[in-house]
């Protein structure tokens, strides 16, 4: 199979890159291991803001539908329930439908592989009933399943607060928010105060000492600053933050740099979102952990750069659009993340890790 642009990942960044490239007449292929486009947006019921100026604020799944609707009119081939498993010597991607593997030769590749949630380790954290906040959200909003009846949340980021509210809304009793720092980390203070108003205790400077249960979590011990308390719970949702998913970049031989603000190890890239490999671009959380608005913007930037390389738009036009998008990114993105991004761009010519397989 041949295609102009192969987009790995059909979440918000991959879809916005697809819109930019396919709308200019390029032949685009999207591969995603899920059975549905939209990535994590599909189970996000919260209202997303700020979004790029072309979108008004809307809920995550509404945004997914909107993006999917937009690519419908264009020449986009979908390989859902498919995975990239490696690359051939000639640069073709090896793609599997879980039965056979076949090569796809693309002129340019945009990797929008997203992020994975990290764990918070404590004794017995691997027991059933203990899961990431993202998993709990998926169960409620995609599968329509109650992940438990009585829960604690480990962590107090915006995402953790949002998930706690969504758990409560379906009738799960949230018994405590456990945070090892001395205050709530959420930037949107209203969410934390909504939870305290509902009588949910925040335990600061605290952590789970141990979980217990027979085949699934039943009890946890929480180490508070001056005592240890025990709670009966059947659900522990942990927020360990997120890190970019890098597998494909290792296989492609891209170079990496370490950038704390972007979530740790991130492939090197320049202002066109081109990686250390000329034919490979990246977008979304793979380019550094961020919020949905900026994820869309990076997808647009990568899409425009690839369109320019494949001569679907002029360099002058591409430059102008890219500059406007970077400006908008600077306005929408969290200040720390954005400055991490700028630092990361500056390191493009001096990558820390190159030609190494560390996966």
Burial of 327 (0-12, 13-18, 19+ CB in 10 A): exposed
Q: Which of 300, 275, 287 is nearest to 337 (CA)?
A: 287
Minimum Å distance from CB 107 to other proteins? 28
User: Residue 66, interface with other proteins (CB under 8 A)?
Assistant: no
User: Residue 100, interface with other proteins (CB under 8 A)?
Assistant: no
* Nearest residue (CB) to other proteins, 78 versus 324: 78
Omega before residue 50 within 30° of 0, cis? yes
Distance CA 151, CA 175 (A): 6
Minimum Å distance from CB 175 to other proteins? 18
Could you tell me if 144 and 40 are in contact, meaning their C-beta atoms sit under 8 angstroms apart?
no
Binding residue count for other proteins, defined by CB under 8 A: 33
User: Residue 33, interface with other proteins (CB under 8 A)?
Assistant: yes
Minimum Å distance from CB 297 to other proteins? 23
Stretch that binds other proteins, among 66-74, 102-110, 121-129, 322-330 (CB under 8 A): 121-129
Distance CA 194, CA 9 (A): 35
Minimum Å distance from CB 233 to other proteins? 13
User: Residue 41, interface with other proteins (CB under 8 A)?
Assistant: no
User: Residue 190, interface with other proteins (CB under 8 A)?
Assistant: no
User: Residue 292, interface with other proteins (CB under 8 A)?
Assistant: no
Non-local (6+) Cβ contacts of 110 within 8 A are: 5, 6, 7, 8, 14, 17, 21, 280, 281, 282, 283, 299, 302, 303, 306
User: Residue 134, interface with other proteins (CB under 8 A)?
Assistant: yes
User: Residue 121, interface with other proteins (CB under 8 A)?
Assistant: no
* Nearest residue (CB) to other proteins, 45 versus 96: 45
Neighbours of 350 (CB within 10 A): 10
Orientation angle between helical segments 315-332 and 292-309, nearest 10 degrees? 170
Among 97, 150, 169, 336, binds other proteins (CB under 8 A): 169
Minimum Å distance from CB 143 to other proteins? 3
- How would you label 255-266 residue by residue, b for 16+ Cβ within 10 Å and e otherwise? bbbebebbbbbb
User: Residue 325, interface with other proteins (CB under 8 A)?
Assistant: no
User: Residue 117, interface with other proteins (CB under 8 A)?
Assistant: yes
Question: Residue 332: in which H helix or E strand, if any?
Answer: helix 315-332
Among 3, 16, 29, 138, binds other proteins (CB under 8 A): 138
Give the CA dihedral 266, 257, 156, 153, nearest 10 degrees. 60
Distance CA 142, CA 136 (A): 10
User: Residue 129, interface with other proteins (CB under 8 A)?
Assistant: yes
Minimum Å distance from CB 339 to other proteins? 29
Neighbours of 127 (CB within 10 A): 16
Minimum Å distance from CB 272 to other proteins? 29
Show contacts with other proteins in window 294-313 (CB under 8 A): none
* Nearest residue (CB) to other proteins, 44 versus 206: 44
User: Residue 215, interface with other proteins (CB under 8 A)?
Assistant: yes
User: Residue 34, interface with other proteins (CB under 8 A)?
Assistant: yes
Catalog residues that contact other proteins under the rule CB under 8 A. 33-35, 45, 59, 61, 116-117, 119, 126-132, 134-135, 138-147, 169-170, 215-216, 245
């Amino acid at each position: 199979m041949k295609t102009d642009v192969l987009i790995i990942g059909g979440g918000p960044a991959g879809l916005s890159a697809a819109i930019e490239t396919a709308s200019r007449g390029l032949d685009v292929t999207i591969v995603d291991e899920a059975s549905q486009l939209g990535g994590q947006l599909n189970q996000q019921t919260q209202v997303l803001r700020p979004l790029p100026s072309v979108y008004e604020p809307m809920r995550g799944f509404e945004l997914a539908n909107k993006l999917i609707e937009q690519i419908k009119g264009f020449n986009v081939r979908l390989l859902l329930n498919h995975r990239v498993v490696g690359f051939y010597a000639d640069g073709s991607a090896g793609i599997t439908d879980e039965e056979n593997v076949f090569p796809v030769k693309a002129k340019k590749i945009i990797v929008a592989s997203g992020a994975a949630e990290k764990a918070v380790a404590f004794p017995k954290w691997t027991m059933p009933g203990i899961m990431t906040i993202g998993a709990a959200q998926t169960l409620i909003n995609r599968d329509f399943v109650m992940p438990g009846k009585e829960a604690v949340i480990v962590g107090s980021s915006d995402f953790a607060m949002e998930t706690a509210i969504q758990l409560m809304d379906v009738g799960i009793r949230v018994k405590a928010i456990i945070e090892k720092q001395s205050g709530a980390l959420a930037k949107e203070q209203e969410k934390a105060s909504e939870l305290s108003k509902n009588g949910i205790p925040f335990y600061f400077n605290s952590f789970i000492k141990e979980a217990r249960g027979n085949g699934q979590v039943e009890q946890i011990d929480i180490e508070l600053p001056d005592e240890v308390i025990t709670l009966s719970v059947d659900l522990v949702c942990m927020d360990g933050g997120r890190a970019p998913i890098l597998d494909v970049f290792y296989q492609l031989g891209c170079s990496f740099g370490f950038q704390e603000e972007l979530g740790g190890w991130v492939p090197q890239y320049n202002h066109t979102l081109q990686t250390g490999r000329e034919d490979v671009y990246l977008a979304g959380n793979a380019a550094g952990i961020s919020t949905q608005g900026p994820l869309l913007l990076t997808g647009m930037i990568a899409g425009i750069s690839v369109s320019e390389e494949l001569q679907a738009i002029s360099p002058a036009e591409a430059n102008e659009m890219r500059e406007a998008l970077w400006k908008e990114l600077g306005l929408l993105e969290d200040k720390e993340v954005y400055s991490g991004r700028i630092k990361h761009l500056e390191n493009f010519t001096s990558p820390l890790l190159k030609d190494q397989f560390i996966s």
